[in-house]
Structure 1
Amino acid sequence: MVAVTLPDGSVLDLEDGVTVEEVAYEIGPGLGAATVAGVVDGELMDRHAPLETDCELEIVTEDSEEYLRVLRHSAAHVFAQALQRRYPEATLTIGPPTDEGFYYDVTGVDLDEDDLDAIEEEMADIVAADYDIERVERSREEAFEIYGDNEYKREILETEAAGEEEVSFYVQDDWQDLCRGPHVDSTGEVGAFELLSVSAAYWRGDEDNETLTRVHGTAFPSESDLEEYLERREQAKERDHRKLGNELDLFSIPDVTGPGLPLYHPAGKTVLDELSDYVRELNERYGYEYVETPHLFRTELWKKSGHYGNYRDDMFLLDVNDEEYGLKPMNCPGHASIFEQGSWSYRDLPVRYAEDGKVYRKEQRGELSGLSRVWAFTIDDGHLFCRPGDIEREVDNVMTAINEVLGTFDLDYNVALATRPEKSVGSDEIWERAESQLESVLESSDLDYDVEPGDGAFYGPKIDFGFEDALGREWDGPTVQLDFNMPERFDLSYIGEDNDEHRPVMIHRALYGSYERFFMVLIEHFDGKFPLWLAPEQVRVLPISDDNLGYAHRVKNDLEEAGFRVTVEDRDQTIGRKIRAAHEDRLPYMLVVGDDEEAEDTVSVRDRKERESDPVGLEAFRAHLVAEREEKRTEPDFVD
């Protein structure tokens, strides 16, 4: 018998080998008929998959969030079939669904974007034919015969499918692909699709492997869904932080510096400094003390912390005087070392350390992308050491701070509890205790949250905050992580009320996540139109003629004394051209000053929404700016 736990907590005791679909029929005939797939212990599985052990099961129907992923997986197969119809010499490797659509990596054929229309026509024929998509089990020997000259599929058989007597294929018409699934019932269900781009990719994402051709596509149940997505995609191209970063002179990643190593220009550094000052203000309010740790440590530290065994392949390692050193991939071991050197009483706890710490992770070159994934990035890191009884209060404080940060930037968010990953350190007892503690905090907070099995850090579970930008895209962001392992590894202790030594709990937290990714999200979320308090240039004074330059500079000096970043446009241009340039530069405010304004000690205000005011007193406008800055408003307020 197997115990199948359903989302509502109820448990069904059923015969070994019962399929996902059969469980659905046990729940109700309607659900059984609507079943597309199942989520078994967090993993999508075919509806015909047998359940051999106790598990948690969620039935997937067309109304489920996971349905789109199943549909897109089938769209990847439709693409692969169409490709091989047009190019029989093409060799298939892998073609998974993604959050945005799907891709398929292929070789043996030279493709560019001009070829996509013809492949789409072939895909349309396959969808119109509405071929059944059938799951077929084949022996490993038969699978190896099928892929006699396909080294990539053979490698999959020797790795992911190692030890399996039979492997699954999905068959549609006269075409088949080695695949775990799941898929929709027929090619006709794929609905609306579009091939988006062609790029290069390394096999398995490893730059030491062969270079393949990756074709990206997307699919939706209906044409209207597809059109809506394509419109958002075009908007995203216009907001791309790499494009805006260049236009607004915020940052660059030139080839000469190396991949994933951004250079921040004065305007970009100004935004980062404002973000840092904001976090410093929050940290001081919540009782954190700033520390600083070096970029480089002996690898003995990483072995002690557990990072060496779990992160070694992602670390930059170097030999110094016959000793191995590594650029730090995380800040937490340094903070644990600082705590380790002190003598602590229960009265001293919690001890809270903060650092804007630069870290380095050796991502594959093919995965680097602007500021979203880089080799060098800065975490607004915080680590606190507390008594077990203080966990709920401290985690709640962190979550309150995170909520304030995301609210300041007008970012909607979702919350998830990420549990123990397959690659982890520590005993089952420690992990169960840590996960239970975080779950308790979430329950008491009344926040809706999802559970993400296996997505925790290697040293402990975590609460992740994912936020949504102006285009509805989701991004990883702040996090709070509970860690019973690091204190054990560093033998951290404090003297309790009973005068005995006790082990503190270590809590990791970041309010932004990393500055680089958060900066990237803000650029795209605000379309480069930063809130006043963040904007590199907050006000530009536009004199109508050279005769008004002296007054323009007096206005500038007055506002600079109040702490604002102000420039004067003194080029020999018409006022109309000066206004257009300021709008293109996405400035919060521009001040037009001419003879009338100079005579009355006023300014005529325009904002980036192209709203104009009658002349207002300079003192009144300065007070308006101060209020907007202090309240950290996300949009300029109309000045009347």
Structure 2
Amino acid sequence: MSESESEPESAGQITVVLPDGSELEVDAGATVEDCAYEIGPGLGRDTVAGKLDGDLVAKEEPAYDGATLEIITEGSDESLRVMRHSAAHCLAQAVERLYDEPKLAIGPPTDDGFYYDFDDLAVDESDLEEIEAEMEAIVDADYEIEREEVSVEEAEERLADQPYKLELLSELAEEGEQVTFYSQGEWEDLCAGPHVESTGEIGAVKLLEIAGAYWRGDEENPMQTRIYGTAFEDESDLEAYLQRLEEAEERDHRKIGNEMNLFSIQDVTGPGLPLYHPPGKTVLRELESFVEDLNEDAGYDYVETPHVFKTDLWHRSGHYENYEDDMFIFDVGDDEFGLKPMNCPGHAAIFQDQSWSYRDMPIRYAENGKVYRKEQRGELSGLSRVWAFTIDDGHLFVKPEGIEHEVETIIDMITDVLETFDLEYEMALATRPEKSVGSDEIWEKAESQLRSVLEHRNLEYDVEEGDGAFYGPKIDFAFEDAIGRHWDGPTVQLDFNMPERFDLSYVGEDNEEHRPVMIHRALYGSYERFFMMLIEHYEGNFPLWLAPEQVRVLPISDSNLGYAHRVANEFDDFRVEVDGRDSTLERKIRAAHDDRVPYQIIVGDNEEDDGNISVRDRFEDQEYDVETDAFRAHLEDERDEKRTEPDFLRD
């Protein structure tokens, strides 16, 4: 540290930067709460916690010179997170009261609630009610939550019978440093905080489920018992959340996938390796066709890369050092191979195999490429987290001066996709992560380029510090589904590092070799995750253009079966089926509704005599005496325009 940097603290003063960019000078050693009081006594009294350079900390945490400081007060998302952290402590205290000597692991807040992991604890779902009641008693007791700094040596004594806490302690501080404990009533825990001031400030609490979780997420470690819960400021917010959970359960893509015969994940294939059945593959093929049309219009050429490469490629690209633990790696003879975790190195190798001129640029490659990530088994869940998934990948090799145009074009493609599905979305600029490759200069240049594109188009965006890819910054799109959940989706990523690692070049107008910039982009993110989201967003009621079965013809009686097949032939460019079962019309209608078919065509003696049809949609609206040609023309428009709802009976 230079003399000028150390001067404020040596003079007894430090300067912190507030969210509006203004500076606040306070005494060295001032805590977050002290800074709040300096701003105003009301803010000081309302302080729950703080953020120092983006990190959520206790209000007792000392500020430091040059830090960006944000004061956290009640009513914010961060204050809810603080309260949920305290609820996790109540959970652990309740469990220790009710059960003999469980071993405590970790208990963090989450986006939707909290959890705590225990070892040596035998409980099941039937025990949650009793644990929850004990938690409520702790809340009602309104214990003061006290923060205490102790030496590592004293902490070791206090945690003598808690092996997992001792392991954490060994990583938190070296001998002679201080660590923090939080206590409430008779109970205490090693914890950095922050927490609310007393257990009485914890609002409405609900325990949700019990699951297994490996210690530190490592399958080589012991399996622990994880208890999930949630907490909100009041009962009304909790009830609203529980209703959303109930609706989410009804929309669960695994349940609907089974009902609609879309996919399965079987023991014979292994975890995280989905099998797509004909109806599910039909939806995927429509999604692929949509993207292929967009790629063709934007000038992409399709390529194909193998599933397996020598790990020499992954060493060269940087994936090995950053993704080794997440890769499937194996030996063949004297060579080491790996299933590809990403498609980009293969595309770089294709580009490298030819000589390019500035006249050829940009080069745009596309591939629906299957990739493999060795996720922990406990994290695998339906299509949302799998071992094998397919990315609608695109990689562009462009001249530096062409970056802005190409990124803008990609943004247009992504927004076209999201707006086609009528999805509300937000954008974020994700910056350099801690684990990355490349120089500071390269990263600063890449981040500046993406920021310039966003600001040139006056696009609203957040900044997600440290969330970039290891090879470059990115613009991420997140969208909201029908019940208000947010999902990560499409992305566009700038990469100055891969071209360096693969020594990619093109000959410029000056006849000299120049380095291209590589752009990574995906319009869905991955087919599996996007498909999963669509299943839940639409609750299986896909738009006509995506529906595995678009029209079902229902003959009223066996005598109308021949006419039903003749009608079906009139719609042979759609996915149409005839329900020829010996069953009542009411049961056929109910079956088509349960199978989530957008339209039903009903034919009986009247329709056959008149040469017309009756049409019924999934909303149970029906119209009689419909001309076949008119309905077919409507279906063509609805399909080709990719409308999100059947609207023949709603025009």
TM-score (norm 1): 0.98
Residue identity matched to 2:57: M
Residue identity matched to 1:377: F
Counterpart CA distance in 1 for 2:25 and 2:477 is: 35
Aligned residue among 36, 41, 48 for 2:53: 41
2:103·2:163 contact (CA, 8 Å) conserved in 1? no
For 2:347, the equivalent position in structure 1 comes to 335
What is the deviation of 1:162?
4.6
What is the deviation of 1:241?
0.4
1:543·1:552 contact (CA, 8 Å) conserved in 2? yes
Task: Map Cα deviations across residues 556-584 of structure 1 (whole Å, 9 max, x no partner).
Answer: 11101xx2100000000000000001111
SS in structure 1 of the partner of residue 268 of structure 2: helix
For 1:607, the equivalent position in structure 2 comes to 617
Task: Map Cα deviations across residues 196-217 of structure 1 (whole Å, 9 max, x no partner).
Answer: 0111111011111101000000
Residue identity matched to 2:337: Y
SS in structure 1 of the partner of residue 488 of structure 2: strand
Counterpart CA distance in 1 for 2:307 and 2:181 is: 49
Counterpart CA distance in 1 for 2:164 and 2:181 is: 15
Aligned residue among 436, 443, 460 for 1:431: 443
Are 1:176 and 2:202 an aligned pair? no
Counterpart CA distance in 1 for 2:519 and 2:172 is: 35
For 1:375, the equivalent position in structure 2 comes to 387
For 1:391, the equivalent position in structure 2 comes to 403
SS in structure 2 of the partner of residue 103 of structure 1: strand
For 2:138, the equivalent position in structure 1 comes to 126
Counterpart CA distance in 1 for 2:43 and 2:410 is: 41
Are 1:618 and 2:623 an aligned pair? no
Residue identity matched to 1:607: D
Q: How does 1:130-279 map to 2 (within 5 A)?
A: 130-162=142-174, 165-279=177-291
Are 1:79 and 2:91 an aligned pair? yes
Are 1:551 and 2:563 an aligned pair? yes
Percent same amino acid at aligned positions? 68
Instruction: From the superposition, tell whether residues 497 and 8 of structure 1 become closer, same or farther in structure 2 (CA, over 3 Å).
Output: farther
Instruction: From the superposition, tell whether residues 436 and 23 of structure 1 become closer, same or farther in structure 2 (CA, over 3 Å).
Output: farther
What is the deviation of 1:125?
0.9
What is the deviation of 1:53?
4.5
1:541·1:569 contact (CA, 8 Å) conserved in 2? yes
Counterpart CA distance in 2 for 1:68 and 1:442 is: 31
For 2:11, the equivalent position in structure 1 comes to none
Aligned residue among 567, 578, 581 for 1:571: 581
Instruction: From the superposition, tell whether residues 7 and 396 of structure 1 become closer, same or farther in structure 2 (CA, over 3 Å).
Output: farther
Residue identity matched to 1:306: G
Give structure 1 stretches of 5+ with no counterpart: none
2:153·2:175 contact (CA, 8 Å) conserved in 1? no
Aligned residues between the structures:
638
SS in structure 1 of the partner of residue 193 of structure 2: coil
Instruction: From the superposition, tell whether residues 601 and 9 of structure 1 become closer, same or farther in structure 2 (CA, over 3 Å).
Output: farther
What is the deviation of 1:151?
1.3
What is the deviation of 1:234?
0.5
SS in structure 1 of the partner of residue 68 of structure 2: strand
Across the aligned residues of Structure 1 and Structure 2, the Cα RMSD in angstroms comes to 1.3
Counterpart CA distance in 2 for 1:163 and 1:390 is: 54
Instruction: From the superposition, tell whether residues 494 and 637 of structure 1 become closer, same or farther in structure 2 (CA, over 3 Å).
Output: same
For 2:644, the equivalent position in structure 1 comes to 634
Aligned residue among 14, 19, 23 for 1:11: 23
Residue identity matched to 1:103: Y
What is the deviation of 1:14?
4.1
Counterpart CA distance in 2 for 1:380 and 1:90 is: 47
Residue identity matched to 2:169: L
What is the deviation of 1:348?
1.4
Give structure 2 stretches of 5+ with no counterpart: 1-7, 9-13
Residue identity matched to 1:157: L
Instruction: From the superposition, tell whether residues 398 and 568 of structure 1 become closer, same or farther in structure 2 (CA, over 3 Å).
Output: same
Are 1:441 and 2:457 an aligned pair? no
For 1:290, the equivalent position in structure 2 comes to 302
TM-score (norm 2): 0.96
Q: How does 1:399-548 map to 2 (within 5 A)?
A: 399-548=411-560
SS in structure 1 of the partner of residue 568 of structure 2: helix
Are 1:595 and 2:605 an aligned pair? yes
Residue identity matched to 1:366: G
Counterpart CA distance in 2 for 1:162 and 1:519 is: 48
Residue identity matched to 2:286: E
Task: Map Cα deviations across residues 456-477 of structure 1 (whole Å, 9 max, x no partner).
Answer: 1111111111111111111111
1:116·1:195 contact (CA, 8 Å) conserved in 2? yes
2:397·2:519 contact (CA, 8 Å) conserved in 1? yes
Task: Map Cα deviations across residues 208-252 of structure 1 (whole Å, 9 max, x no partner).
Answer: 110100000000000000000000100111110011110110000
What is the deviation of 1:103?
0.7
Instruction: From the superposition, tell whether residues 163 and 245 of structure 1 become closer, same or farther in structure 2 (CA, over 3 Å).
Output: farther
What is the deviation of 1:163?
6.2
2:634·2:648 contact (CA, 8 Å) conserved in 1? no
What is the deviation of 1:11?
3.2
What is the deviation of 1:56?
2.3
Task: Map Cα deviations across residues 532-554 of structure 1 (whole Å, 9 max, x no partner).
Answer: 00000000000001111111111
For 2:3, the equivalent position in structure 1 comes to none
Residue identity matched to 2:617: D
Counterpart CA distance in 2 for 1:154 and 1:505 is: 48
Residue identity matched to 1:514: S
Counterpart CA distance in 2 for 1:516 and 1:124 is: 41
Task: Map Cα deviations across residues 290-317 of structure 1 (whole Å, 9 max, x no partner).
Answer: 1100000000000000000000011000
2:16·2:64 contact (CA, 8 Å) conserved in 1? no
Residue identity matched to 2:591: A
Instruction: From the superposition, tell whether residues 400 and 76 of structure 1 become closer, same or farther in structure 2 (CA, over 3 Å).
Output: same
For 1:347, the equivalent position in structure 2 comes to 359
Residue identity matched to 1:373: R
What is the deviation of 1:61?
1.3
What is the deviation of 1:455?
0.9
For 1:317, the equivalent position in structure 2 comes to 329
User: Structure 1 residues 153-162 or 361-370, which shifts more?
Assistant: 153-162
Residue identity matched to 1:634: T
SS in structure 2 of the partner of residue 421 of structure 1: coil
What is the deviation of 1:586?
0.9
Counterpart CA distance in 2 for 1:540 and 1:5 is: 64
Counterpart CA distance in 2 for 1:177 and 1:131 is: 14
